[in-house]
Amino acid sequence: MNRLRVTLQDLRQGKIIVVDKPLDWTSFDVVNKIRSVLRKRFDLKKIKVGHAGTLDPKATGVLVIGIGPATKLLGKFQADDKVYEGLMRLGATTPSYDTETDIDKEFPLDGITEEMIRRAAQSFIGDIEQLPPPYSAVKQKGKKLYELAREGKEVELKPRRVKIYDFEIKNIQLPDIQFALHAGKGTYVRSLVHDFGKKLNNGAYLIALRRIRSGNFTLDQAVDLFEWVAQNQ
C-alpha cells in the first residue's frame, strides 16, 4: 500500500500529512498545492486543507497538514511546542530579521566572546515577551504586517508572551552561530534572533532555520512535497 497516496476514504474520514516544507514556499503555498492536486484528482470543487504552525518562506522542515475532517484537529496541533535547528549571523540586521531583505545595519564584533554568547542565550530561557517581526503574517487593521512593511508604512507592534524551554548554542564560528531551540506556541524565531543580537549590544539575523519537531510530529515522519505530488496526480 502506498503510504503517500490519499484515498477517497481519507477525504471522508480525514487525514494528517507531515510535509517537509521546501525552502522559499510559504505554508499557504503548500496548502494550496495539496488542495489543487486533490481537487483535480478527485474532480471535487471543494476540499478542506489547512496547516498547523506557520513556517516562514526561508524556513524548512515539519509542517503539519490536515485534510478533510482532520482540519478540526489543527487548532490543537497549533498549540504544540516546536523544536528547531538554526543558523544566525551576528554583526548585522535586516528589516525582516532574516535573509528575505537586505542588510540595513552593521556592527563590529570586537570584544564579543563565547562566554557572552552562551550567557545571552541562557537569558532567554523561560517566559519572555517578544514583538512579532515587522515582516510577518500577523494582521493589523485587516492587513498583514509584511504587506504594510512593503508599502513602507510604520506599524505599532504589540508584544506577545511566549515560552522558551531551551536555547542551546551548538557551534560558534563568528559571525555565524549554530543553535538548537525548543520553544512554545507562537514563538517567532526571527524575533528571538533579533533580540539576541540586541542583548549583545549588536545585531543578528536568521540565515537558516529547520523545524525538526512539532508536538509529536517529527522530521522522520515528513514526506517530500514534490514526491507526494507525484504520487497523487
Annotated catalytic sites, by residue?
Answer: 56
Which residue type does 203 have? G
User: Is residue 4 within 8 Å of residue 228, measured between CB atoms?
Assistant: yes
User: Is residue 154 within 8 Å of residue 194, measured between CB atoms?
Assistant: no
CA distances to 43, 52, 64 from 70, rounded to whole Å, are 20, 11, 11
CA distances to 23, 73, 126 from 180, rounded to whole Å, are 19, 27, 15
User: Is residue 183 within 8 Å of residue 211, measured between CB atoms?
Assistant: no
- The grid coordinates listed for 15 are 487525514
As a dihedral over the C-alpha atoms of residue 168, residue 172, residue 176, residue 180, rounded to 10 degrees, the angle is -20
Q: How many residues does the chain have?
A: 233
Burial class of residue 30 (count of CB atoms within 10 Å of its CB; 0-12, 13-18, 19+) = buried
User: Is residue 122 within 8 Å of residue 167, measured between CB atoms?
Assistant: yes
